[in-house]
Structure 1
Amino acid sequence: MALQWLTLVGTIWLQSINGTNSNFPAYSSQLKHLLSLSQLQLNNLAVASDVGKLFGWFSGLAAAHLPLWFVLMIGSILGLIGYGIQYLFLTNRISSLSYGHVFLLTIFSGNSICWINTVCYMVMISNFPFDRQVAVGISTSYLGISAKIYTNLVDAFFPSSPKERAKAFLLLNSTLPLVVCTFVAPMIRDINSGKSMRVEIGFVVIFVITIVTGIYAVTTSFGSMSRGMSPVTVVIGMGMLLLAPVVVPVAEKTMERLQKKCWIRRGERVHDVHVVEEVGGVEIEDGCKGGERSVGENTIGVRLMVMKVEFWLYLFVYLFGATLGLVYLNNLGQITESRGSSKASSLVSLSSSFGFFGRLVPALLAYICSRNKCMASTPVSIAAMMLPMSLAFFSLLSSTTLSLYISTAIIGFCTGAITSIAVSTTTDLFGAKNFSLNHNIVVANIPIGSFLFGDLAALIYRQQSDAKNGKCMGMGCYQTTFIMWGSLCFFGSFLALVLHSRTSK
């Protein structure tokens, strides 16, 4: 059990540094000026990061045939190459790097995220088969504060000039995942552990720590609330909260030492075979060493999956939901600039923090409702997230700063929630056996949507921009874009309900 919880702690640390593409809006404007890019070229760099997900199925195949620690290291090395060479170029250690080279390197760095995500998902689904949505939701929630972690580190330890900040983000993006992956790699393994009552207690402790972490992230995202706290203090506080989940495997290890053998209440000692539970109609043998896990699921492969109507409904639901949210967050730097604001970093931290809670809430609801048998279907849950997200896009038509902050928080929350729910949706629809490959096929919609929606927004931006400097200022820059995105998101919620009606049986 201690090793089982240690794998969850390891995936928490991995996800907390795996959102290297989510901090792009924090330095995109500086990168635009440093490389003399047009708005369309800049958007294509954001698309390139998502294009890496088109090749995410490579990580799925690798995870099925290679040790997971090795898959993890491949992902970190790809990120080192992609971001590291860009950093060397900006610091003049490499010359004559063309836009095409930068585009290709961004694809490399975007693909690296898929490898780390695949490992985290597989470990959680394997090690917590009866609470997989809870375990996956907890670990992926930390991906929501990844951008804030990077922003805090840059604020604390690097110069504040825009030019140097862009270099700092690229340096951290290239090196931090490699360091953490190297440290966590020994923890990443399949632990054949049965279900015990202490799983309940462990999840409660992890939830409390995670919620406190999210509250800390949100409060320190607002300058008024964190006034008086130096950036270094904020980083130290976040570091302590990231280390806090270790108390669960440590406590579990202590319990294992105190209870070397299991007992059942019959007044007699039993060797190593223990309690038999019935979970979902399947008898599971549980005990000190853990029994074999067997859960009946309808598992299908990629070929059969893409022939199902449910797959295409699910794909478009994701496209008009989580993908649209990611496109908005990728363009947050330019959206903020067009409104005459210089608060891009604080908005990135805000969306990151609310994305954290968005990813966590489905896990918390799954934990509570699975005990009370009240859980709604995952397509209905996705539809419930897409409706407020659609309203948030329309509220961006208001020119007030308050509407910008509120809408960004809602879109960050809903995007995170849909991304978390999607992991369980893939396993519910197509089974867990081929999850690593199936889910990477599903998320291939992200680069497609990023290209279509992002480039269209960039073209509208260019039509409204000043012919001399290519900049667009005012509400007209993104007005049409917000109307289009809000309408598509609303239509996506309808498709989610159609998917529910087809899978409700």
Structure 2
Amino acid sequence: MSSRALQWLSLVGIIWLQSINGTSFNFPSYSSQFKHQLSMSQLQLNNLAFASDAGKLFGFVSGFAANSLPLWLVLVIGSSLGLVGYGIQYLFIINQLHDPSYWVIFLLTVLAGNSICWINTVCYIVAIRNFKAHRHVAVGISTSYQGLSAKIYTDIVESMFSKRSSKRTETFLLLNSVLPLGVCVFVSPLVRVHVVEEQGGMEIGVFLIFMITIATGFFAVFTSLGSISTKLSPLTGLVGILVFLLLPLAVAVAENVKRKTEQPEKHRGGVEAAMEEIGAKEMLKRMNFWLHFGVYFFGATLGLVFLNNLGQIAESRRSSGVSSLVSLSSSFGFFGRLTPSLLDHFFPGKLMKSKPGWMVALLGAMCGGFFLLLWPTDTSLCTSTAIIAGCTGAITSIAVSVTTELFGADNFSINHNLVVANIPLGSFLFGSLAGFLYRNQVPAGAGKCVGVECYRAVFLIWGCLCLVGTLLALVLFARTRSFYSTKRRMVEDSPPLHVLPLSLVS
């Protein structure tokens, strides 16, 4: 098999890995049942959502491991951590282990949350190193599939059990523990770094991958909306998604049989290396890093906290379609993650002139989504969920590119894990705030709060915090304007590789 075909197979492998790596995203689907089965308070439940994010505090360990260990071993270690974290919780739920301490559950959730970082790190490394001239495409496409994780897990469970079944929680935990390990073992032979001398002549393959990915996203959105409005069978959605996940193999097969005599296309990229390589210690001294950190904190992290609380928010509004909402958020999160790389590839230097500038627009839309939640209708809940999930996914995808462009690709596995270390901090602060304000709205003697007032203050505060993120994004946009202007001119002129002046990225 040619090195080019192996290169595309590695992309297929990380697509499959990312599609099952968002185990924390399906937490809202079973959080209410989990709360009742373990007799937790709302604040304790919020702290469990934080615990999953707290695992990212130690994400840098996976970065160091990936620099010294084989990537297949990093995958096995990461998925094994998830097996232990979710697996022991599963044993508690089915009463094979008795009287679980809350803090044991908390620490197991931290361990499970950390497992995601190991798989993410491998996926980023393979995408960046195997597709040097198209790294933004490879990262954007593969990352977008993580947004489908919640839908895939939810469709599996709903295909097996009714929405009121007591076995749903234990099934989610069982899938979270064994499915990532199984997929990691299966794809580990594919997920390797391949040295491909010629990076040109990939435009057809990139186009096909984009078309498959877009079709997958539309199918996910259609089946999610169908499950809300027409009660479309979850099995239909699951089978369709699995078929779409197999389609990228066609690109790898096509590359293997393609005639080697074709004339390589002149690649317009060449400027992907136009960046300064900065280590973690030096990065922490840069103002741009802290602005980038703050934008992510008040943007993607805030959106993730909302999605973690989606089950409780829907329950407070007496909405019975929690799983459908989770599938909806998963589908729009998928498109959010995909869109930046789509625009960047097909309209280089035009629509995506400045990624911090796009963050400004996305954060503004998120603000509108939070304020729209103040209306007590199912339509506003669905619309806001779609907006916030889509913007959160887009910011997550763009942040990967910003980290690479401003601080380099050589130390990306450590640098970006430091950026996303803000997630557990935001999860704790924003989640605790939501739990505290929710508890104050619970009537005396009642176990839960029902009504739009339960989260009204929370949405107002979150919307205002999102405005703070918008201001930080504006400052980052102003500081990096010269850098992105120079980068855009290089794309338009398509010169050989250049290195931007160091002053532009400091």
> TM > 0.5 between the two?
yes
Q: CA deviation at 1:503?
A: 1.6
Indicate if the aligned counterparts of 2:284 and 2:290 stay in contact, CA closer than 8 A: yes
Within the alignment, does 1:295 sit opposite 2:273 as a pair?
A: yes
How far is the alpha carbon of 1:235 from its aligned partner? 1.7
Per the alignment, residue 398 of structure 2 pairs with: 421
Task: Output the CA distance in 2 between the equivalents of 1:276 and 1:402.
Answer: 48
Tell me which residue corresponds to 1:311.
Answer: 289
Of residues 341, 351, 356 in structure 1, which corresponds to 2:334?
356
Shift of 1:374: 5.3
Partner residue, 1:394:
371
1:87-135 CA-partner distances (Å, limit 9, x unpaired) = 0110011112210100000001000000000110111010111111111
Deviation at 1:226, TM superposition (A): 7.9
Give the aligned CA root-mean-square deviation in angstroms.
1.8
Match of 1:143? 146
- Residues 428-487 of structure 1: per-residue CA shift (max 9 Å, x gap): 111111000000001000000000010011000001112323311111111111011111
Alignment of 1:271-420 (within 5 A): 279-280=269-270, 295-370=273-348, 375-420=352-397
The answer on 1:435 being equivalent to 2:412 is yes
C-alpha distance 468-130 of structure 1, shift in aligned 2 (>3 A): same
Q: Would the alpha carbon gap of residues 476 and 363 (structure 1) be closer, same or farther in structure 2, given more than 3 Å must change?
A: same
* SS of corresponding position for 2:413: helix
Alignment of 1:144-293 (within 5 A): 144-158=147-161, 160-223=163-226, 227=230, 229-255=232-258, 258-259=259-260, 262=261, 279-280=269-270
The 8 Å contact of residues 13 and 242 in structure 1, kept in 2 or not, is answered as yes
Residue 382 of structure 1 aligns with an amino acid whose one-letter code is M
Distance 1:175 1:404 in 2: 33
Q: How much does 1:296 deviate?
A: 4.9
Q: Report the residue type matching 1:309 in the other structure.
A: M
Given that 2:292 and 2:476 are in contact with CA atoms closer than 8 Å, whether structure 1 keeps it comes out as yes
The correspondence for 2:77, drawn from 74, 77, 80, is 74
Q: What displacement does 1:158 show?
A: 3.7
CA deviation profile, 1:127-149 (whole Å, cap 9, x unmatched): 11111111111011111111000
Q: Which moved more, 1:143-152 or 1:335-344?
A: 335-344
1:460 corresponds in structure 2 to 437
Could you list the runs of 5+ residues in structure 1 that have no partner in the other structure? 265-273, 282-293
- Superposition deviation, residue 16 in structure 1: 0.4
Unaligned runs of 5+ in 2: 483-506
> Letter of the aligned partner of 1:352 in structure 2?
S
Q: Distance in 2 between matches of 1:414 and 1:403?
A: 16
Following superposition, the deviation at residue 227 of structure 1 comes to 4.3
Please tell me whether the aligned partners of residues 462 and 470 of structure 1 are also in contact (alpha carbons under 8 angstroms). Answer: no
The amino acid of 1:219's aligned partner reads: F
Distance 2:161 2:78 in 1: 26
Quick one: distance in 1 between partners of 2:20 and 2:301? 20
2:79 & 2:423 partners in 1: Cα distance? Answer: 21
Identical-residue share of aligned pairs (%): 59
Give the length in aligned residue pairs: 479
* Contact residue 200 and residue 267 of structure 2 kept, 8 A: no
CA deviations on 1:349-403 (whole Å, 9 max, x unpaired) are 0000000000010010011122x65531111111111111101100100011100
> TM-score under structure 2 normalisation?
0.91
Please name the residue that 1:270 is paired with.
none
SS of residue matched to 1:247: helix
Amino acid at match of 2:311: G
Q: Aligned partners of 1:179 and 1:326: how far apart in 2?
A: 26
Query: 1: CA distance between counterparts of 2:163 and 2:351?
Result: 50
Q: Partner of 1:470 in structure 2? A: 447
Equivalents in 2 of 1:234, 1:74: separation in Å? 31
Q: In the alignment, which residue of structure 2 is the partner of 1:289?
A: none
Bigger drift between 221-230 and 74-83 goes to 221-230
> TM (normalized to structure 1)?
0.92
- 3-state secondary structure, aligned to 2:339: helix
Aligned residues of 1:313 and 1:495 also touching (Cα < 8 A) = yes
Report the Cα distance in structure 1 between the residues aligned to 2:157 and 2:458, rounded to whole angstroms: 31
Per-residue deviation, 1:502:
1.1
Q: Deviations over 1:236-256 (max 9, x none)?
A: 11111110110000010111x
1:226-280 Cα deviation digits (max 9, x unpaired): 848533332211111110110000010111xx43xx577xxxxxxxxx9997854
Q: Do 1:40 and 1:458's aligned partners in 2 also have CA atoms closer than 8 Å?
A: yes
Tell me how far apart the structure 2 counterparts of residues 215 and 254 of structure 1 sit (CA, whole Å).
Answer: 29
Q: Is the 8 A contact 1:28 1:42 kept in 2?
A: yes
* Distance (Å, rounded) in 2 between the aligned partners of 1:36 and 1:275: 62
Structure 1, residues 157-189: CA drift from partner, whole Å, max 9, x if none? 245434210111001100110110000100111
* 1:58 matched to 2:35: no
Maintained 8 Å contact 2:200/2:265: no
Distance between the aligned counterparts of 1:225 and 1:89, measured in 2?
32
Which residue type is aligned with residue 447 of structure 1?
A: P
AA in 2 matched with 1:239 = L
CA distance in 1, matches of 2:220, 2:262: 43
CA distance in 1, matches of 2:437, 2:290: 29
> What letter corresponds to residue 485 of structure 1 in structure 2?
W
Give the one of 95, 98, 105 matched to 1:95: 98
Pair 373,333 (structure 1): closer, same or farther in 2 beyond 3 Å: closer
Q: Which moved more, 1:322-331 or 1:490-499?
A: 490-499
Tell me, yes or no, if the aligned pair for 1:317 and 1:493 is still in contact at 8 Å: yes
Change (3 A) 1:327 1:374: closer
Is the contact made by 1:220 and 1:226 (CA closer than 8 Å) also made in structure 2? no
Counterparts of 2:69 and 2:444, CA distance in 1: 53
CA distance in 1, matches of 2:270, 2:234: 49
Residue of structure 2 equivalent to 1:126: 129
1:195 positional shift: 4.1
